[in-house]
């Protein structure tokens, strides 16, 4: 590990964009999405500051092409500007941002990090020509060393995990080892002001671990942590995690902690982490005062561990279920059975946790039969309205085993930024395309019905836990009923459309578009009706009972703008 | 604005009210690109494009009705 005191740091040589000598030049400026606190960037920030460097964050929550982002970067000259490219499909946005910054005279060293840049640095350097380098894998130590050598390109080859071009040649330096002890890292940098849920509960994102020991074929996490070697999942000590929680609770009143772990350490070697975590929560007197949400695999939990977690404040859980049929689970390499998925969800229902779940209706092995099984599975787990079902098509992210396999099979399609693949049956491809047309708003819009129901479902649990809910008002039953209706409507649409395509074929359906139109119209009318009902439920009493007031205000503004005045009365 | 000939042809045939078709014309996101691996011929592409327009017209009409209903609640 390289440590750099302020005395050792090279003199600032980088001309600033503004050329204003009164504006101090930062060592590092980090840019990226920060909606849920970008823990990667915030850890790099903390690490650099702990070594005496000056480093700041430019959140790009309104999108990286937001003019405010450009202005913020131009106004804060820095020797290095680091861009967090989380989503492969946003590469073009970053290309345009960097080009604009160069046009504005920003001459800083531009580097990028994240899963996609780490796994395919050659592609990212090609797609974003204004990048000078790529920081691969864990970024803290790489940034620090890059800072010490940024003005000496002849020494960049010494920097482990750095990728760059030199004389037209791509240089991929060997990966540097990951930190073996996460407890040695400084605490994350937090904003000056705490964050709040939409019902006003102070919350913070936090990590108990990095990495995941499993090997799902569509996921980049294993590839990201495996290449540098070492443990596939490293754990912070439970005491260090709870120390941080206690500090955030004391200093900022945080009551809700969202664990952003790739796979929360429920199951660990010796299964000792979780009991120690619970003991630490008890020892700090936090039980009943703070609550938390985790993400984990369905086979991580059992009745004993779930009961213990609930007792210590667990109120919400995210499962990567991904598939409800054996073929899908197999090609995704989930290493779980449909029965196990069902059993774990049943447990979550028993403990009445707010459930969110990732689900891929389509995967590379999909057939009409497997899609039908998936729909039946979703009906089984979501038909009662326990949680709002969501579904998508698996995307072949760069560097994953499934991407490699699809390429070998000649099925990888799309572009480098937006990879896709053909399904095995062309008629199913057409079905998937129409599903996307019908459900894009519901499933993928940041203010679509699915997100609104998810948010309401979570807030309803949290409000009860922290005592914000009026105990005389039962919101749970009417909310569950709305979720049930939304699920039933969507699943019926999926089923009816599947039957139409399977029985008639796309050609015949396109000849008679009326059937398709009626089906989609029914879906959208029901969604609109449910949205109005949800709005009513939220705005009763004192209003914002389910935390949807801001979401709906924003949504209505956006929709009104989109429809524009000619259509309005 | 889309430059897909099939979509443009379909747009020209649009029989929706003029103001709505104008809204649609302004939006380049109206057409999700049809995956090329569907291997559609020109005629099929045009029919897909017409379907997308039908969808969007109806979706926008429903959206408008919903906003009117919500407007009364606010």
Residue B15 has pLDDT above 60, yes or no: no
pLDDT at A567: 36
Structure tokens at A346: 């049943």
The larger pLDDT score, comparing residue B11 to residue A568, is at B11
**H-state helical runs in A351-448:** 368-382, 401-408, 426-439
Those residues with Cβ within 8 angstroms of residue A191's Cβ, 6 or more apart along the chain or in another chain: A37
CA triple A375-A379-A380, angle to 5 deg: 120
pTM, rounded to two decimals: 0.91
* A433 in reach of chain B (CB within 8 A): yes
Which residues of chain A are within 8 Å of residue B20 when distances are taken between CB atoms? 567
**A427 SS3 class:** helix
CB contact under 8 A, A566 and B67: no
Which residues of chain B are within 8 Å of residue A569 when distances are taken between CB atoms? 68
pLDDT at A348: 98
pLDDT at A80: 98
Residue B35 pLDDT level (bands cut at 50, 70, 90) = confident
Segments of A363-407 assigned E as strands: 392-393
Which residue(s) pair with A360 in the sheet?
A392
Q: What is the pLDDT of residues A454-477, one digit of tens each?
A: 999 999 999 999 999 999 999 999
Structure tokens at A527: 């969604």
- Cα A356 versus chain centre, distance: 13
For residue A534, what is the nearest residue in chain B, using CA coordinates? B70
Nearest to A520 among B47, B58, B70 (CB): B58
For residue A438, what is the nearest residue in chain B, using CA coordinates? B55
Q: What is the pLDDT of residues A178-198, one digit of tens each?
A: 999 999 999 999 998 999 999
Which residues of chain A are within 8 Å of residue B73 when distances are taken between CB atoms? 532, 535-536, 539
Nearest to B19 among A413, A420, A566 (CB): A566
Residue A568, min C-alpha distance to chain B (Å): 8
* A407 in reach of chain B (CB within 8 A): no
The helix (run of H) or strand (run of E) holding residue A349 is helix A338-350
Chain B interface, best mutation among A396, A407, A520, by max B CB count within 10 A: A520
pLDDT at A563: 64
CB-CB neighbours of A245 under 10 Å: 24
Q: Quick one: average pLDDT of A217-244?
A: 95
Residue A13 pLDDT level (bands cut at 50, 70, 90) = very low
Residue B28 pLDDT level (bands cut at 50, 70, 90) = very low
The larger pLDDT score, comparing residue A4 to residue A160, is at A160
pLDDT at B7: 59
Q: What is the pLDDT of residues A492-532, one digit of tens each?
A: 999 999 999 999 998 888 888 889 999 999 999 999 999 99
Q: What is the pLDDT of residues A325-383, one digit of tens each?
A: 999 999 999 999 999 999 999 999 999 999 999 999 999 999 999 999 999 999 999 99
Q: What is the pLDDT of residues A106-124, one digit of tens each?
A: 999 999 999 999 999 999 9
Residue A18 has pLDDT above 70, yes or no: no
CB contact under 8 A, A513 and B35: no
Which residues of chain B are within 8 Å of residue A520 when distances are taken between CB atoms? 55, 58-59
CB contact under 8 A, B58 and A563: no
């Amino acid at each position: 590990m390289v440590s750099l005191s302020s005395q050792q740091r090279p003199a600032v040589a980088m001309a600033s964009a503004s050329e204003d000598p009164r504006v101090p030049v930062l060592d590092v400026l980090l840019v990226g999405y920060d909606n849920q606190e970008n823990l990667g960037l915030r850890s790099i920030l903390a690490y650099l500051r702990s070594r005496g460097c000056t480093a700041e964050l430019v959140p790009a929550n309104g999108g990286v092409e937001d003019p405010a982002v450009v202005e913020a970067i131009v106004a804060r000259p820095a020797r290095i500007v680091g861009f967090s490219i989380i989503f492969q499909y946003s590469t073009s946005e970053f290309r345009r941002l960097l080009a604009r910054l160069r046009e504005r005279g920003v001459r800083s060293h531009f580097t990028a990090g994240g899963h996609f840049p780490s796994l395919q640095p050659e592609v990212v350097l090609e797609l974003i020509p204004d990048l000078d380098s790529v920081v691969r894998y864990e970024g803290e130590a790489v940034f620090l060393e890059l800072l010490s050598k940024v003005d000496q390109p002849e020494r960049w080859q010494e920097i482990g995990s750095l990728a760059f071009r030199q004389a037209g040649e791509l240089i991929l330096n060997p990966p540097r080892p990951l930190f073996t002890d996460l407890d040695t890292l400084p605490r994350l940098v937090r904003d000056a002001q705490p964050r709040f849920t939409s019902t006003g509960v102070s919350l913070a994102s936090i990590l108990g671990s990095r990495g995941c020991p499993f090997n799902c074929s569509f996921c980049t996490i294993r590839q990201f942590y495996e290449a540098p070697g070492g443990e596939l999942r490293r754990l912070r000590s439970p005491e260090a995690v709870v120390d941080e929680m206690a500090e955030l609770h004391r200093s900022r009143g945080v009551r809700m902690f969202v664990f952003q772990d790739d796979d929360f350490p429920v199951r660990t070697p010796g299964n000792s982490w979780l009991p120690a975590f619970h003991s630490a929560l008890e020892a700090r007197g936090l039980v009943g005062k703070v609550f938390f949400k985790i993400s984990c695999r369905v086979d991580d939990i059992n009745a004993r561990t779930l009961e213990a977690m609930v007792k210590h404040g667990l109120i919400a859980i995210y499962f990567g279920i991904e598939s409800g049929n054996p073929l899908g689970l197999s090609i995704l390499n989930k290493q779980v059975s449909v029965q196990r998925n069902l059993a774990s969800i049943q447990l979550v229902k028993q403990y009445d946790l707010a459930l969110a779940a990732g689900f891929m209706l389509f995967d590379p092995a999909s057939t009409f039969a497997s899609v039908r099984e998936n729909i039946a599975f979703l009906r089984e787990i979501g038909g009662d309205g326990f949680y709002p079902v969501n579904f998508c098509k698996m995307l072949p992210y760069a560097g994953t085993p499934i991407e490699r396999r699809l390429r070998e099979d000649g099925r990888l399609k799309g572009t480098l930024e937006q990879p896709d693949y053909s399904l095995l049956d062309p008629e199913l491809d057409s079905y998937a395309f129409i599903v996307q047309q019908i459900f894009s708003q519901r499933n993928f819009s940041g203010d679509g019905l699915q997100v609104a129901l998810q948010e309401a479902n979570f807030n309803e649990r949290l409000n009860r836990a922290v005592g914000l809910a009026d105990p005389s008002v039962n919101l749970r039953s009417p909310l569950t009923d709305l979720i049930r209706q939304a699920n039933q409507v969507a699943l019926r649409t999926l089923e009816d459309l599947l039957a139409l395509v399977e029985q008639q074929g796309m050609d015949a359906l396109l000849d008679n578009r009326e059937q398709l139109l009626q089906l989609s119209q029914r879906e959208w009318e029901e969604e609109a009706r449910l949205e109005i009902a949800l709005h009513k439920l939220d705005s009763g009493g004192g209003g914002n009972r389910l935390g949807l007031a801001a979401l709906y205000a924003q949504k209505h503004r956006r929709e009104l703008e989109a429809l524009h005045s000619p259509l309005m009365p | 604005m889309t430059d897909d000939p099939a979509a443009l042809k379909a747009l020209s045939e649009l029989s929706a009210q003029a103001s709505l078709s104008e809204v649609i014309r302004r939006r380049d996101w109206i057409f999700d690109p049809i995956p090329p691996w569907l291997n559609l011929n020109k005629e099929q592409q045009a029919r897909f494009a017409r379907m997308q327009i039908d969808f969007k017209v109806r979706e926008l009409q429903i959206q408008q009705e919903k906003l009117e209903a919500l407007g009364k609640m606010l």
